[in-house]
């Protein structure tokens, strides 16, 4: 508790004392600051290169720099001067000019990203672009795409600092400084939040992506990659570099290229310290909402309803589909740009899904509104169910992405129960079918059925029928009940598919049989969590069965 309180205290800029912690002693700081100012570094980059990592200090960097330099003059810890009334005294003009000297030109290290582009006015302009994108959200996070030549320029300044201050700058310091991304988020995140009147978090489903480009210095990146391209193929392969990607490298490629160039060679290729550019970086804003996952279970009561839109040569074969019944209202609720629908297996168009239904999940892409409450999803579920008698949705709820693993894990051990209306060429009685109940864990060998060969590879799959039972309807018809391993082709188990499934029901009964109707009675996966319902599901199911 004490450590947490101390951290909270240190995270605030106190009006009476500003404790600036760096890698160096005060005397050393002053020397490094003077050199970095001479190299054209902005104030925030100077603080970064001194090892400052506390967020509040980057919000008012000029004040911090003034206090550092004045503290050196007074040979004491940096703290703002105050008069007897507790108000800050004006700082000498010479000190003030010295601290702001590097802000007059574009920073040689960050290419202006931590200068004017961090000003509240610039951030508010970005916020206006976010508003124009018409997203609704309660929280947001910021991400950045930076010019890759920043990696080169930061390496240049460190090589220079190590040559001038060999005892102060070691390799470990390079890895411990605050990054440009971190500082930009520290400074601009709260400003963006205030401008949008929402909260800024470092983790949020709403992402505001700020992309920076700097055309003036792209030649530096091309020079490095050209040098890398001239290296022996073995090194390029080990680093994962593809010469065809020279115009669109990734960060690991550039870091690998820098690592593989010696310091001596690097100084021949690039000016150390890096030269001051003439232009600021250019910014572009894009917004995206992390995928939201909506899960539930569905019943399908129609024998003329496909799971997904059924199109052959551009022509619809069914009027609607389970995907459209479920996903279109969800997409409208979320104001989403797109979605992905998947279910725990699939049934044929003429197969009903009864019982508690089949689990499904909808991945909602780029939603333009906050995640709905459970009350809103329950209301949407009722709206879907009132709109059709062909289908029904239950247990509709938002889930986390990690919850999908539970569904995938269940695929390995899942079983399904079926009932089927069977025709038999030979007359059947309860006695003639009784032996089926004694069959347990019957292993089948099923070649890919003829009806799905156009979309699935030819293979022989081993599946298990756990239990079988039958109930006679008349001499040539009976109802077959099965509990099988997931992935079992039930229709083929009945009629044999020209001998491609063995054994099959025809072999067991020693006569010709065919399947007239098939229902999925249950999908035995306890997912997603059950949600109690107010309406009478049995009544709706009865209405659907009467219609069928």
Set 348, 403, 514, 524: catalytic member: 348
Taking the C-alpha atoms of residue 437 and residue 481, their distance in angstroms, rounded to an integer, is: 10
Q: Report pLDDT for 545.
A: 56
Q: State phi, psi for 352 to the nearest 5 degrees.
A: -90, 155
Q: Which domains are assigned to the chain? A: 20-81+90-287 (no CATH), 301-410 (3.30.70.2510), 415-523 (3.30.70.3190)
Q: Report pLDDT for 410.
A: 65
Q: Report pLDDT for 95.
A: 36
Question: Which residue stretches of 75-148 are H helix?
Answer: 93-100, 120-132
Q: Report pLDDT for 535.
A: 52
Give residues with Cβ within 8 angstroms of 318, minimum separation 6: 304, 305, 306, 309, 310, 349
Taking the C-alpha atoms of residue 125 and residue 209, their distance in angstroms, rounded to an integer, is: 14
Q: Which residue's structure tokens are 């939201």?
A: 292
Tens-binned pLDDT, residue by residue, of the chain (548 aa): 333 333 343 444 333 344 677 777 777 888 899 999 999 999 999 999 998 988 999 999 988 888 877 765 555 544 443 343 333 343 343 334 333 444 469 999 999 999 989 989 999 999 999 999 989 888 999 999 999 999 999 999 999 999 999 888 876 677 789 999 999 999 999 999 999 999 988 888 899 999 999 999 999 999 998 887 655 444 443 333 333 334 467 889 999 999 889 999 999 999 999 999 999 999 999 999 999 999 999 999 999 999 999 988 888 999 999 999 999 999 999 999 999 999 999 999 999 999 999 999 999 999 988 889 999 999 999 999 999 999 999 999 999 998 988 777 766 678 999 999 999 999 999 999 999 999 999 999 999 999 999 889 999 999 999 999 999 999 999 999 999 999 999 999 999 999 999 999 999 999 999 999 999 999 998 899 999 976 545 555 555 555 55
Number of other CB atoms surrounding residue 421 within 10 Å: 15
Q: Is residue 395 among the annotated active site residues?
A: no
């Amino acid at each position: 508790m004490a450590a947490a309180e101390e951290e909270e205290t240190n995270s605030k800029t106190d009006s009476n004392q500003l404790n600036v912690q760096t890698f160096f002693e005060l005397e050393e700081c002053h020397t490094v600051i003077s050199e970095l100012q001479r190299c054209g570094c902005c104030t925030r980059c100077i603080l970064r290169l001194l090892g400052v990592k506390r967020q509040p200090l980057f919000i008012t960097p000029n004040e911090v720099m003034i206090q550092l330099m004045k503290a050196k003059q007074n040979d004491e810890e940096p703290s703002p001067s105050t008069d007897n009334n507790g108000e800050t005294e004006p700082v000498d003009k010479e000190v003030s000019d010295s601290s702001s000297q590097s802000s007059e030109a574009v920073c040689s290290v960050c290419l202006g990203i931590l200068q004017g582009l961090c000003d509240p006015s610039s951030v508010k302009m970005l916020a206006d672009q976010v508003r124009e994108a018409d997203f609704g959200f309660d929280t947001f996070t910021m991400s950045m795409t930076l010019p890759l030549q920043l990696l080169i320029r930061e390496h240049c300044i460190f090589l220079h600092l190590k040559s001038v201050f060999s005892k102060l700058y070691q390799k470990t310091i390079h890895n411990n400084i605050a990054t440009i991304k971190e500082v930009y988020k520290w400074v601009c995140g709260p400003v963006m939040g205030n401008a949008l009147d929402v909260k800024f978090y470092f983790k949020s489903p709403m992402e505001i992506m700020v992309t920076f480009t700097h055309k003036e210095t792209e030649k530096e990146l091309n020079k490095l990659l050209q040098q890398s391209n001239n290296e022996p193929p073995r090194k390029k392969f080990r680093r994962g570099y593809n010469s065809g990607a020279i115009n669109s490298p990734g960060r690991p490629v550039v870091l690998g290229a820098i690592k593989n160039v010696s310091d001596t060679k690097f100084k021949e290729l690039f000016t150390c310290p890096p030269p001051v550019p003439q232009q600021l970086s250019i910014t572009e804003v894009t917004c995206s909402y992390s995928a939201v996952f909506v899960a539930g279970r569905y019943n399908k009561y129609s024998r003329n309803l496909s799971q997904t839109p059924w199109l052959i040569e551009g022509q619809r074969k069914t009027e609607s589909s389970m995907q459209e019944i479920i996903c279109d209202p969800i997409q409208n609720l979320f104001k989403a740009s797109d979605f992905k629908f998947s279910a725990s297996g699939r049934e044929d168009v003429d197969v009903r899904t009864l019982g508690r239904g089949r689990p499904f999940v909808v991945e909602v892409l780029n939603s333009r509104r906050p995640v709905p409450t459970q009350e809103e999803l329950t209301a949407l579920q009722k709206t879907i169910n009132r709109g059709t008698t062909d289908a029904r949705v239950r247990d509709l709820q938002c889930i986390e992405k990690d919850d999908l693993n539970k569904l995938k894990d269940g695929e390995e051990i899942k079983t399904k129960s079926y009932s089927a209306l069977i025709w038999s060429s030979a007359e059947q009685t309860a006695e003639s079918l009784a032996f089926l109940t004694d069959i347990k864990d019957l292993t089948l060998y099923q070649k890919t059925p003829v009806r799905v060969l156009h979309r699935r590879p030819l293979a022989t799959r081993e599946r298990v029928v756990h239990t079988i039972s039958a109930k006679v309807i008349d001499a040539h018809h009976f109802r077959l009940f099965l509990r099988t391993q997931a992935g079992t082709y039930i229709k083929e188990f009945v009629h044999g598919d020209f001998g491609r499934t063995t054994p099959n029901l025809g072999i067991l009964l020693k006569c010709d049989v065919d399947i007239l109707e098939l229902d999925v009675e249950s999908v035995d996966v306890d997912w997603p969590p059950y949600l109690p319902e107010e309406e009478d599901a049995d009544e709706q199911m009865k209405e659907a069965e009467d219609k069928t």
